[in-house]
Amino acid sequence: MTAIKLLLVIVGCIILLHQVLARVVRRFWHFPAPAFISHVLDSKLRRRVQPPEKLIEWSGIAEGLTVLDLGCGSGTLTIPYARAVGENGRVCALDIQPAMLDLLARKLARLENEASNEHGRGKGAPPTASLRIQEPPANVGLIRASAHQLPFAANSLDVVGVTSVLYEIPDPQQALHEIKRVLRVGGYLAVTEMFMDPDYRLKSTTVREGQQAGFILDQAYGNFWAYTVRFIKPEAS
Ligand SMILES: C[S@@+](CC[C@H](N)C(=O)[O-])C[C@H]1O[C@@H](n2cnc3c(N)ncnc32)[C@H](O)[C@@H]1O
């Protein structure tokens, strides 16, 4: 066996062992994903596996809607969601951990600084720099709360996106009932899961959990490794 093959086998075994251990621990011990994993959440590899534009389409996020990014983490998806809903829409970024919300707040502040520096440079700035710049979205609200008790009025949201979060919540059914309360009739719940997440569950489990909470299955997208299941809040619920 060549050295490269041996190295690949070793790396594969380490990843497998890590996955098995993490899954066993997570079955018995529920705690929110630590803030340092934001490097993984924000990585290029993650964007390749779960492109934000795909999640936007699959979740039914569109211009002018009010969206809850539940368990937003460091906001990997919050900012693309905010751009997709535009200035007539709004994104509420909710997380239980202040450290995650701080990371998102810093990201927004960084965009703000870059935009104002760019504007300050004026007409003399090289054109490539102004092409790179992206205005910070002004339609994002940061909220610290638990998925078990959402601080929103009944029927007040159009879409709730729950990405790599549902099975990290100690009581997913309670969270799903809260989501159903705050969604408007006909609104979407989009549950997204990725295999690399130690809390990952199969698509069939997610369909069952959603239906058990009284949602109607609308669409299921993706594959075994990364999927989104979109539900609709029915009229009589
Ligand atoms: C794996 S991260 C995913 C972050 C983000 N959705 C993404 O896909 O990049 C899970 C997030 O859910 C949050 N979370 C876990 N339990 C929660 C709860 N009960 N209520 C609200 N947020 C929670 C964690 O703090 C963490 O930021």
CB 59 within 8 A of CB 188: yes
25 occurs within a structural domain: yes
Task: Give the phi and the psi of residue 188 in degrees, each rounded to 5.
Answer: -105, 140
Ligand 1 atom closest to residue 192's alpha carbon, by position in its atom list: 8
What are the angstrom distances between the C-alpha of 125 and each of 116, 118, 130, 177? 13, 8, 7, 52
- In a domain, residue 237? The reply is no
From 47, 168, 173, 201, the mutation candidate for ligand 1 (largest count of ligand atoms within 8 A of CB) is 168
Query: Which of the pair, 47 or 236, is modelled with greater confidence?
Result: 47
Q: Identify the weakest region by mean pLDDT among 21-25, 182-186, 230-234.
A: 21-25
Residues 39 and 156 in one domain: yes
Quote the pLDDT of residue 196: 87
Same domain as 2, residue 101: no
- Say whether pLDDT at 97 is over 60: yes
What's the confidence (pLDDT) of residue 138? 83
Q: What is the mean pLDDT of residues 95-108?
A: 95
Residues 1 and 37 in one domain: no
For residues 85-92, average pLDDT? 96
Mean pLDDT of 51-63: 97
- Residue 59 domain flag: yes
Same domain, 68 and 15: no
State whether the beta carbon of 22 lies less than 6 angstroms from ligand 1: no
pLDDT score recorded for residue 211: 98
**Neighbour tally for 137: CB within 10 Å:** 21
Decide if 189 contacts 230 (C-beta within 8 A).
yes
Contact between 183 and 232 under an 8 Å Cβ cutoff? The reply is: no
Separation between Cα atoms, residue 32 and residue 168, nearest integer Å: 6
Do 74 and 26 lie in one domain? The reply is no
What pLDDT does 193 receive?
Answer: 97
Question: Which domain, by its residues, includes 25?
Answer: 1-30
Residues 100 and 155 grouped into a single domain: yes
Domain match, 203 and 158 both: yes
Q: Strands, E, within 172-225: which ranges?
A: 183-194, 216-222
Determine the 3-state secondary structure of 202 from DSSP.
coil
Indicate whether 149 and 38 sit together in one domain. Answer: yes
Same domain, 130 and 43: yes
| Nearest Cα residue to 27 out of 201, 151, 181 | 201
Each residue's pLDDT tens digit, 122-156: 544 444 444 445 566 789 999 999 999 999 999 99
Whether 97 lines ligand 1, by a CB cut-off of 6 Å, is yes
pLDDT in tens, 159-204: 999 999 999 999 999 999 999 999 999 999 999 999 989 999 999 9
93 with 104, same domain: the answer is yes
Distance 69 CA to ligand 1 centre (A): 9
Do 135 and 224 belong together in one domain? yes
Domain at 71, CATH number: 3.40.50.150
Complete DSSP assignment for 17-70: HHHHHHHHHHHH---PPPGGGHHHHTSHHHHHHS-HHHHHHHHT--TT-EEEEE
**What pTM does this model have?**
0.87
| β-bridge pairing 66-70 and 216-222 | unpaired
| 69 within some domain | yes
Identify whether residues 48 and 25 lie together within a single domain.
Answer: no
d(CA 30, CA 95): 15
Q: Is residue 101 assigned to a domain?
A: yes
Both tokens assigned to 105: 């707040």
| For the CA of 197, the nearest atom of ligand 1 | 1
In the prediction, which pLDDT does 128 show?
A: 45
Q: How many domains does the chain have?
A: 2
Angle at 107 between CA 94 and CA 69, to 5 degrees: 25
**Per-residue pLDDT at 18:** 77
Can you tell me which atom of ligand 1 is nearest the CA of 69?
Answer: 6
Report pLDDT for 237.
Answer: 63
Atom of ligand 1 nearest to the CA of 41: 9
